[in-house]
């Protein structure tokens, strides 16, 4: 199948300059950017008044938590987690997780996300949802454990890896996810490393999200969560770490030296009242920082345009420095840096000949984009998720002209509502 995206503004994310022209796709691969008069397309997409750019990479979420969206808001963290979320998570079955993931994927495609990294449970059901919808995903079974009985979950994670890693034309990859240092004891982290050893995989973990977590780690181990994970050898695996909010200069050095990617979740950190990650310092140190939505129960949406704007705005406010996290850097956080966190930068994250055709069209023919002084800035400071008009992932159209092509949206919303009602018992 040969697809031509025609007459668009093109932001490749290989350079800040916006080009004008066409993008050619053969099957799943970008074959040219610019003009090719000899390209015989089977299908043409008109990109007039649109920005053609790489699909966004949401490098940390818990997709099925869409089922708990707006169920437990404005609560203290432990009241939120232990009082409201964990009791209903106990009632989840695979079918719930699948419908929650599908709802999340519909929302993510609508906001221009073509790759997401997910940490949760019943991951076979999430993988089914991914396979049915055609999005790209890094999936990991969230692992918590402080006793030998929990080791069963690690076995589940390993067999999940063997069932799904590299499947669906490599759209699905499987990572290993020790949930966080405060939910896994040292022996359990050791078992996870043993299971992941020798596999083509990555570690997906929450690190230093709250002040309380760091305090407890210092008391228990005499080390910050980041130093402690380094000491255990976890960073011998390629690692992407969500949050990294309460971190020291020494932690930043450890992240840099061990090539750990940080996944910033500004919306979630604000809503759960955990604070702000020191993004400026991380960038200065040369750490790869991406941005993500976290789960919808603590955000409460999966809107990467909002997260990119928050990353830019919060850091300017906190640093009292208007040039910190400029628009192009926020866009890098949402695209190529996310691809690097997942080890996918050779395939996705920018538009380049030979890379996978994960491409979105943002409709800029709307009042909030005019006048058009600076299209790059407007993508961060003016764009809304609802401006995404067309989405391709791996050369397949997942949304065209605002219509989802692989998901029955009405049915998904209805089923998600039914599942949620059953879970909360109303
Ligand atoms: Zn999370």
Give yes or no for residue 78 having a pLDDT over 90. Answer: no
Contact (Cβ atoms closer than 8 angstroms) between residue 10 and residue 19 = yes
Cα of 267 vs centre of ligand 1, distance in Å, is 12
CB 385 within 8 A of CB 109: no
Q: 299 C-alpha vs ligand 1 centroid, how far in Å?
A: 10
| H or E stretch at 378 | helix 375-381
Distance from Cα 297 to the centre of ligand 1, integer Å: 10
Cα(104) to ligand 1 centroid in Å equals: 15
Centre of ligand 1 to C-alpha 172, Å, is 19
**64 touches 93 (CB < 8 A):** no
- The answer to whether residue 148 scores a pLDDT higher than 80 is no
Q: How far is the CA of 241 from the centre of ligand 1 (A)?
A: 10
> Are 85 and 68 a contacting pair, CB within 8 Å?
yes
**Ligand 1 centre distance from Cα of residue 366 (Å):** 34
- The pLDDT confidence band at residue 31, using thresholds 50, 70 and 90, is very high
CA of 29 to the centre of ligand 1 (A): 32
Distance 120 CA to ligand 1 centre (A): 9
CA atoms within 13 A on the CB side of 349: 20
CA–centroid distance, 262 to ligand 1, in Å, is 13
What is the residue extent of each domain of the chain? 2-54+351-404, 56-341
Q: How far is the CA of 243 from the centre of ligand 1 (A)?
A: 8
Rounded distance between C-alpha atoms, residue 392 and residue 339, angstroms: 16
State how far the alpha carbon of 216 is from the alpha carbons of 130, 181, 208, 213, in Å: 37, 10, 11, 5
Three-class DSSP category at 115: strand
CATH node for 2-54+351-404: 2.30.40.10
pLDDT band at 425 (very low <50, low <70, confident <90, very high): confident
Look over the chain and give the mean of its residue pLDDT values, rounded to a whole number.
96
What residue spans of 167-303 are helical by DSSP H? 167-170, 186-196, 211-221, 225-232, 249-257, 266-271, 279-285
Distance from the alpha carbon of residue 261 to the mean position of ligand 1, in angstroms: 15
Whether 147 has a pLDDT exceeding 90, the answer reads: no
Q: Note the pTM of the prediction, 2 decimals.
A: 0.98
Q: How far is the CA of 296 from the centre of ligand 1 (A)?
A: 10
Domain 56-341 has CATH 3.20.20.140: yes
Are the C-beta atoms of 100 and 66 separated by less than 8 Å? yes
Confidence of residue 426 (pLDDT cuts 50, 70, 90): low
336 CA → ligand 1 middle, Å: 20
Distance (Å) from CA 363 to ligand 1 centroid: 30
pLDDT tens digits along 167-215: 999 999 999 999 999 999 999 999 999 999 999 999 999 999 999 999 9
């Amino acid at each position: 199948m040969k697809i031509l995206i025609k007459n668009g503004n093109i932001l490749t994310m290989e350079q800040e300059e916006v080009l004008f022209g066409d993008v050619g796709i053969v099957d799943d691969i970008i074959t040219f950017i610019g003009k090719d008069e000899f390209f015989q397309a089977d299908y043409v997409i008109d990109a007039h008044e649109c920005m053609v750019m790489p699909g966004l990479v949401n490098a940390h979420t818990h997709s099925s938590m869409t089922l708990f969206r707006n169920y437990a808001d404005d609560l203290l963290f432990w009241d939120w987690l232990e009082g409201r979320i964990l009791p209903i998570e106990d009632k989840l079955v695979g079918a719930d997780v699948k419908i929650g993931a599908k709802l999340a994927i519909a929302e993510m495609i609508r906001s221009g996300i073509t790759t997401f990294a997910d940490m949760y449970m019943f991951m076979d059901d999430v993988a089914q949802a991914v396979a049915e919808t055609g999005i790209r995903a890094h999936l990991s079974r969230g692992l918590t454990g402080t006793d030998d009985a929990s080791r069963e979950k690690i076995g589940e994670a390993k067999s999940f890896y063997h069932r799904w890693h590299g499947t669906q034309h490599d759209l699905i990859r499987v990572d290993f996810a020790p949930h966080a240092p405060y939910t896994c004891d040292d022996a359990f982290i050791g078992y996870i490393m043993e299971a992941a050893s020798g596999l083509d995989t990555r570690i997906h973990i929450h690190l230093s999200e709250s002040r309380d977590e760091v305090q407890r780690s210092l008391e228990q181990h005499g080390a910050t969560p980041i130093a402690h994970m380094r000491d255990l050898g976890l960073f011998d695996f390629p690692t992407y770490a969500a949050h990294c909010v309460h971190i020291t200069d020494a932690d930043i050095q450890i992240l840099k030296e061990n090539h750990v990617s940080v996944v910033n979740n500004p919306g979630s950190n604000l809503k759960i009242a955990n604070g702000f990650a020191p993004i400026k310092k991380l960038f200065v140190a040369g750490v790869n920082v991406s941005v993500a939505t976290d789960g919808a129960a603590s955000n409460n949406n999966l809107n990467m345009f909002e997260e990119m704007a928050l990353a830019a705005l919060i850091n300017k406010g906190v640093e009292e420095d208007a040039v910190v996290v400029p628009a192009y850097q926020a866009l890098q956080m949402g695209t190529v840096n996310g691809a690097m966190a997942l080890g996918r930068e050779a395939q996705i994250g920018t538009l380049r000949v030979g890379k996978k055709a994960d491409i979105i069209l943002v409709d800029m023919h709307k009042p909030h984009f005019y006048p058009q002084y600076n299209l790059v800035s407007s993508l961060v400071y003016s764009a809304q998720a609802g401006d995404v008009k067309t989405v391709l992932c791996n050369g397949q159209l997942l949304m065209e002209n605002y219509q989802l092509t692989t998901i029955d949206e009405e049915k998904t919303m209805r089923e998600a509502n039914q599942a949620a009602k059953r879970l909360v018992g109303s």
